[in-house]
Amino acid sequence: MKKLFLPLLALLPLLAGAQFIYPETKKVDTVDTYHGTAVPDPYRWLENDHSQETKDWVTAQNKVTFDYLDKINYRKQWLKRLEEINDYPKYSSPFRKGEYFYFSKNNGLQNQSVLYRQKGLDGKPEEVLDPNKFAEDGTTSLATFSLSKDGRYAVVGKSKGGSDWRTFYVMDMNTLQYLPDSLEWVKVSGASWQGNGFFYSRYPTPEKGKELSTKNEDHQVYYHTVGTPQAADKLVYSDAANPQRFHGVFTDETESYVLLNISDRGKGKNGNALWYYKQGSSDNAFAPIIAEPGEYSYNFIGEHNGKFYLSTNDGARNRKIILVDPQRPAKENWQTIIPEAKENISSVSMAGDKLFITYLKDVTSRVYVYNLSGKKEGEVKLPALGTAGGFGGEKPDKFVFYTFTSITFPPTIYRYDIATGESTVFRKPEVKFNPEEYVTEQVFYTSKDSTKVPMFITYKKGTVMNGKNPTILYGYGGFNISSNPSFSPARITWLEQGGIYCIANLRGGSEYGEKWHEAGMKLKKQTVFDDCIAAAEFLQKKKYTSPQFLAVQGGSNGGLLVGAVINQRPDLFKVAIPQVGVMDMLRYQKFTIGWNWIPEYGSSDNAVDFKNLFGYSPIHNIKSGVNYPATLVTTADHDDRVVPAHSFKYAATLQEKYKGNNPMLIRIDVNSGHGASNLKKGLETTADIYSFVFYNMGITPKFPGMKPVEKKGF
């Protein structure tokens, strides 16, 4: 095939006021027919991420993008400020195994956090694993760390370049040396110990060269015995008749019970099946508690006196806690321990013979403690309105740890004494900023169908609401995931430059339970876009900002949101930042684990779903003659969750059809995945995004010695 790229010297955009010149992207005559509708796919060849043509295209696109970004004279200063504010020690909550407490720590600007352990809470920390040494460029991370019940061994899972693939190793915790064990092609899996080995899930070895794009099917569960090769692992469970099911086996705290979780999202089912066997039974054969995956989910919390505590939305859209006797698993024998409440249960944990239940009330955490009979014993008093997480532990524990955060409240670790119900600060970060300088409002705006939607708005005190404030509107709206208020040191650099940051709690998430989720999925997906559009209109009506100073940002499902919203209402935004987005809604299910999203979106294989998907799919709804916002698409070469072909094809289509003066650029990171593979890459991406936004709004940040930037000479 002939390469149709312009010489690199000709790829630079022309002077301000003229159109950009992009790499000329070849078009092919590929046409698919869906239920009688012919749909061209001229950039299908970009789906081949290993072809030389695609690699050349990536190089040419990055040349244009980074030449553009390099001309923004405050970009390096923004990165420097990001490094300054991130340069403080960050800790994870400790967890106990035997006499040791384990925790991770990042000294400040380390690419990866380091794992430590110490004897008792006052012991001297000892380094266990330093993932910064896994790879020279710091892009291999510690993705799994699972200790055996006696603490003698640990499974160490590594992710290379941000990929979802894991390689499992076994470490001797007495010597802190690796054993010869090495397990490959692990994905969507933990490591659950029992005896001298552990259960894990993997896929068959993918075709060479297609490891990051091929459809993942036939998820299999194995048992690995320490000290043996992977080829000797015992197949525990597989289901060739249902290749798009996820299978995961895990054990309870005592390792007495082995549980099998099965989901069938490839067939559009949101729920799961749950099977079990008791160790020492005659044949170790799984018996059903829930025989087949269907509409409802059943999450194992813990075991007590031979009975299982489960969290479920079966008959409780906001979830409830039930007690099930696995020997009498019929539904009529279930006992409701904690009934459904007005607020949605967001998480449940068991420790010290107590249940810790976290509810969401208007997108902020409320945590209550119950005994195992379901009697409420108290509330964990949180320091402010925000997000709490943690509370994990084991039955003998007398205290647990949790982390609390909010938009201007850095993650602080608390120790909760179970007997007294008192919380004390265990570790408080020292971030170089003053939270008293900022304000966070929670507003409730009205969407298209009159539904009230919450949104958090954060800005510097004294900001004048005159419609001229640079503002980022962030949204996600999907997969039953709540966009809770949390702290980001990177975001502080936006706020201190006079920026306003808004988090819209769009439907499709779990903010108000399954009802809120269902209102933004499948045939109702347009509701999510309407919620985002209404948020932008609200911000402009109330003079927080205006179309000249509003950017919309989102990643993954949020990248889809950005693409759809700027197609429908480009007039509302000056800048768009779609990150690692699902942009081709007709073919997403054909790559890696994309079929897992069918319950959320529907599938183009279904005629009704196709009509809905085709109506909002970002790639298929870009039109000529529309003044799109300045757009910076971001993706990465090792993203094997939302493959980069989505962003490649989307950017190529924008560049082909848009004829205005705004830049339509794509930034393609290397050795990175669905999220940044290390801290350095994450900060560089953020600096580029914030600089791109300010530059295209015509704003110069207030860094020392800054002079206004003139938009010319590119």
Residue 613: its H or E element: helix 607-616
DSSP strand E in 238-386: where?
246-251, 257-263, 272-278, 287-290, 298-304, 307-312, 320-324, 335-338, 344-351, 354-361, 364-371, 376-380
How far apart are alpha carbons 263 and 272 in whole angstroms? 4
Count Cα neighbours of 584 within 13 Å in the Cβ-side half-sphere: 27
Q: Which two tokens stand for residue 533?
A: 């559009």
How far apart are alpha carbons 187 and 170 in whole angstroms? 17
**Contact status, residue 691 vs residue 78, Cβ threshold 8 Å:** yes
How far apart are alpha carbons 49 and 213 in whole angstroms? 8
For CA atoms 569, 695, 461, 83, give the dihedral sign. Answer: positive
322: β partners = 310, 336
How far apart are alpha carbons 693 and 574 in whole angstroms? 8
Phi-psi region of 479 (alpha: psi -120 to 50; beta: other; left: phi over 0): left
10 Å CB burial of residue 648 (0-12, 13-18, 19+) is buried
Which contacts qualify for 90-96: CB closer than 8 Å, 24 or more apart? 90/411, 90/429, 91/413, 91/427, 91/429, 93/390, 93/401, 93/402, 93/403, 93/413, 94/121, 94/401, 94/413, 94/426, 95/392, 95/393, 95/401, 96/393, 96/394, 96/397
**Contact status, residue 418 vs residue 355, Cβ threshold 8 Å:** no
Amino acid occupying residue 320:
K
Smallest Cα–Cα separation from 420: which of 394, 399, 389? 399
Q: Which residues are catalytic?
A: 556, 674
Q: Which two tokens stand for residue 592?
A: 């890696």
Q: Which two tokens stand for residue 709?
A: 């930037």
Q: Which two tokens stand for residue 185?
A: 């092609």
Specify the residue for token string 């043509």.
Answer: 53
Q: How far is CA 569 from CA 114, 503, 664, in A?
A: 45, 19, 17
Radius of gyration of the chain (CA): 26
Instruction: Please tell me the total number of residues recorded for the chain in this structure.
Output: 714
